[in-house]
Amino acid sequence: MVQLAIMVGGPYDRIPDIKQADSKEIIWIGVDRGSVRLLEQGIIPKIALGDFDSVTEEELKEIKKEVGDVRVYKAEKDETDTELAVQIAFDEFDPDSVSIYGATGGRMDHLLNNIYMVFQPKFFKQATKIRLIDKQNTITYYKPGTHKLVKEVDKKYLAFTCLSPVERLSIMDAKYRLSHSDFTYPISLASNEFVSDTVTFSFDSGLIAVIQSKDNETIGS
């Protein structure tokens, strides 16, 4: 099983402890300042890429010294650095999963682009392999069918975010249940909860982002 992780340059305080996620089996890609963050944690990415406009000259020298494959792109391009990293991940490594860190909590336009990136034709086929992870949230994508969610140990809340019209959504064994409901517009069914270690849900059409989350430990909301 090929696991790949991408570190993006979002706010540092939104990134969880990646040392717990790191292992020799995970292939890392550093995106722009995300490469610096990986090196600070003692993790040498397989690839470092981006326009590197958020790093200093000294930091870029260090990246080029430590990382065997550094790819520098012009700032003016059609894809974001994150999109380039995801495309390279699937084109060159054929991973079973891609976890993206540092993609939330900063600029709102970046956040929305990262969430909706899976609708791009080049990524849609791989959407269910992509996860966005920060200190409070894990976002995963699901296509029609029946699915079983496993509760993350530190998460309390569960949301079913319909990113498109969804037909016959059923949530069988969560705190708040639902039976064969249709939604003709995007909507987030937020603040549901697990009542055991798993939740089963199903739907017939559309794309759903499932979010497992917890309160901010600092401010409690």
> Where are the chain's structural domains?
3-135, 140-213
Regions in the chain scoring below 50 on pLDDT: 219-221
Phi then psi for residue 33, to 5 deg, are: -65, -20
Distance CA 60, CA 57 (A): 5
What pLDDT score does 221 carry?
39
What pLDDT score does 220 carry?
42
140-178 tens-digit pLDDT: 999 999 999 999 998 999 999 999 999 999 999 999 999
What pLDDT score does 21 carry?
60
Q: Which of 130, 114, 118, 106 is nearest to 5 (CA)?
A: 130
Task: State the residue for tokens 């517009």.
Answer: 185
Distance CA 54, CA 51 (A): 8
What pLDDT score does 47 carry?
97
Alpha-carbon 139 to chain mean position: 6
Q: Is 140-213 the same fold as 3-135?
A: yes
3-state SS class at 193: strand
Inter-residue contact 33 to 12 (CB < 8 Å):
no
Helix H or strand E encompassing 115: helix 108-116
Inter-residue contact 46 to 29 (CB < 8 Å):
yes
What pLDDT score does 62 carry?
96
Inter-residue contact 88 to 29 (CB < 8 Å):
yes
> Which structure tokens are listed for 2?
């090929």
**Cα distances (angstroms) measured from residue 43 to each of 39, 62, 143:** 5, 13, 33
The domain 140-213 having CATH identifier 3.30.470.20: the answer here is no
The CATH number assigned to the domain with range 3-135 reads 3.40.50.10240
What pLDDT score does 184 carry?
97
